Structures are given as structure tokens and as C-alpha cells.
């Protein structure tokens, strides 16, 4: 893998964090949130890993970060001291997004970021991701929902049997072109 034209030797999640790559897993309950920690603690955990244990994040900085992301991402909570397990699925997902945004990544990989959340939260997360991309962040949005991909992507890779069968861009992205590629009738690159 190369990042900004430079080959990387990513072998661990910490290597990825240091390469300014962030990854939100599709299973937020098993691989994302730490239920008994507060929103603030869940947000700063990846940033603390990036900085190292020798450079502890002070309470004031952690609180400021949490308040910023609660406001910026519209996380519905009485305070940053709320345990994340007490939030709705959509708000938990926003906290995970905040966790990775706090590390200031160059590449944000989102695996099924709207799975298992309500329609309102789904639309909010899609809007956030589109804004991040418009502001220049590279976002990889993985979804099995075609409508979501049509709404969120400006460039799309279509897979069939775990292999890339097509790359579609901007105006070439349509439900018909995606279905053709999935069925084996599409071109490699459009």
C-alpha cells in the first residue's frame, strides 16, 4: 500500500494510525465502542494511541475535543461524561467517527458505517462523510446498500466474487451500470 505516493509497511493498527489512516469497523459493538467508557474517553482513545503513553491527553484538552465533536457531529447526549453504551446506535457511530477524526487522518475507511442505525442517523452520517470528502479528506465508503453508494460516492469500485470488476466515476455511476458490472456485462473502467 502506498500513502501519498510513499510505500508503507502497515502491519498493525498502530502503524495505520501513524500513517494517518483511520478505520471504522462495521461492527461497532464488538470492534468499536468501549461501552463502559464515557463519550469523551471513547473519542480520545485513538488519539492517545497515536501520541503514545508518554504524552497523556489532559482532561481539559479531552473535554474540549469531546465538546467540539458532540457539536460538530450532532451527537445527542446530555454531556461528554455519558457512557457510550447508553447512546442510540446512530450516536454511538458518530462517537466512533469522532474518535478517528480526532486523529486528523488523511484517509478515512468506513466499513458499513450506517448498518443498524435509524434512517435519520443514516442520513446525518452520509452528510458528514460527503462534507469530509468535499473538504478534501480521502474517504473509502464500503456499503452493501446500492442507494447509499449512489448517494455518497464520486468514484466506485464494483466487486464480484471478491475481485474488482469495474471502476466507475461521477456520471458513469448509476444503478444500471453497477448492475451490469455485477452481472459481468460492465467494462473494467469508465
Q: What is the pTM of this model?
A: 0.85
Residue 190's pLDDT band, with cuts at 50, 70 and 90, is very low
**CATH fold of 12-143:** Rossmann fold (3.40.50)
| Domain coordinates in residue numbering, the chain | 12-143, 154-190
Q: pLDDT, tens digit, for every residue of 41-89?
A: 999 999 999 998 889 999 999 999 999 999 999 999 999 999 999 999 9
Tell me the torsion sign for CA atoms 150, 155, 160, 166.
Answer: positive
CB hemisphere CA count around 177 (13 angstroms):
19
Amino acid at each position: 500500500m502506498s500513502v501519498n505516493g510513499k510505500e508503507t509497511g502497515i502491519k498493525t493498527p498502530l502503524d495505520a494510525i501513524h500513517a494517518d489512516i483511520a478505520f471504522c469497523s462495521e461492527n461497532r459493538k464488538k470492534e468499536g465502542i468501549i461501552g463502559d467508557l464515557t463519550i469523551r474517553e471513547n473519542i480520545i482513545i485513538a488519539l492517545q494511541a497515536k501520541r503514545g503513553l508518554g504524552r497523556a491527553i489532559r482532561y481539559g484538552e479531552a473535554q474540549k475535543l469531546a465538546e467540539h465533536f458532540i457539536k460538530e457531529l450532532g451527537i445527542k447526549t446530555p454531556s461528554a461524561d455519558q457512557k457510550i453504551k447508553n447512546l442510540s446506535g446512530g450516536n454511538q457511530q458518530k462517537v466512533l467517527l469522532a474518535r478517528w477524526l480526532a486523529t486528523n487522518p488523511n484517509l478515512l475507511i468506513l466499513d458499513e458505517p450506517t448498518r443498524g442505525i435509524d434512517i435519520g442517523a443514516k442520513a446525518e452520517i452520509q452528510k458528514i462523510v460527503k462534507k469530509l470528502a468535499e473538504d478534501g479528506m480521502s474517504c473509502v465508503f464500503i456499503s452493501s446498500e446500492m442507494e447509499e453508494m449512489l448517494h455518497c460516492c464520486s468514484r466506485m469500485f464494483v466487486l464480484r466474487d471478491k475481485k474488482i470488476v469495474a471502476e466507475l466515476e461521477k456520471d458513469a455511476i448509476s444503478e444500471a451500470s453497477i448492475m451490469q458490472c455485477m452481472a459481468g456485462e460492465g467494462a473494467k473502467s469508465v
